[in-house]
Amino acid sequence: MLAMEDEREVLMNMLSARVVVEAILKKKEDKCTKLLILLWSWWDERNKVREGEKRRTQLCIAHGVDCYTTEVLKLLVKEKAEKRKVVYKWIKPAEGVLKINCDGAHNHETRSGGWGFVIRDHDGAVMLAGRGKIQRSADAFYAETLACWYGVRAAMEAGMGHIVLETDSLNVKQTLCSNDYNRLEAGNMIIETKMMLQYEFISNTVSHQARDGNKVAHELAKLGCVCETDAAPLLDSIPICIQNMVACDSAARSV
């Protein structure tokens, strides 16, 4: 019924319970799980009969073992998948290189948005940060592109030499790394950003990062959505909420 006759014959000839358990634990996960559940079911059935309950048939016990094993294996698969889940976090640049993280926010209903960027060194210290409101945002691509333009321009004006430009928009990253930027709304910004990258820095790299690794820029873009239209783009002081997120990024890198 359980197709485990071979295992039964082997385990029957073992001299102690400890040896039996050790042998079971060495088997493949599915076989090990079924054997352990079978042993537990026998023990549980014996206790119930001893207490006066009606004995179940072998078929009933076998069916219960199969069902329970299936459920346990499903949970184990789910647990392993969760452990394998990639955790994205901010990655520091090499020493002597500054990383510009950019993000844009777009509100489809109001056709407005915000942008934000933060520039950090290899220790995670903030060199510059900015945010701003977009009164007329064509789409998310436009907002993301504008954020990159502001970030790169700020780095250029500060005289930074070696930079990494990082965005959580794969579309923007691919566009900046290719000659395909025939978008009416963002075409000029793409061209200007590419020109700055090519001619104003000693070295530059454009990279993509998942949203979880771009949280500081994302929060700055949200602040940009609600700031005054004429607010200065560069922040004189870093808001506490941003400082806390920067600290969390640095702490995550040290784990």
What does the pLDDT average to over 244-250? Answer: 91
Report the pLDDT value the prediction gives residue 255, as an integer from 0 to 100. Answer: 42
Per-residue pLDDT at 23: 84
Helix (H) / strand (E) element for 126: namely strand 126-134
Domains and CATH numbers, the chain: 5-84 (no CATH), 98-254 (3.30.420.10)
Say which residues have a Cβ less than 8 Å from residue 73's Cβ, sequence separation at least 6. Answer: 29, 30, 33
Q: Does pLDDT of 195 surpass 80?
A: yes
Rounded to whole angstroms, the Cα distance separating 145 from 109 reads 20
User: What is the distance between the alpha carbons of residues 73 and 30, in angstroms, rounded to a whole number?
Assistant: 7
What tokens were used for 115?
């942008």
Tens digits of residue pLDDT in 76-102: 887 777 666 666 789 999 999 999 999
Query: Which tens digit of pLDDT belongs to each residue from 41-56?
Result: 888 888 988 888 888 8
Pairing type for strands 98-107 and 162-167 reads: parallel
What does the pLDDT read at residue 254?
A: 45
Average pLDDT over residues 24-28: 84
| Unique residue bearing structure tokens 């537990």 | 40
**Percent of the chain having pLDDT more than 90?**
52
Question: pTM for this structure?
Answer: 0.66
Tokens 């459920």 belong to 71
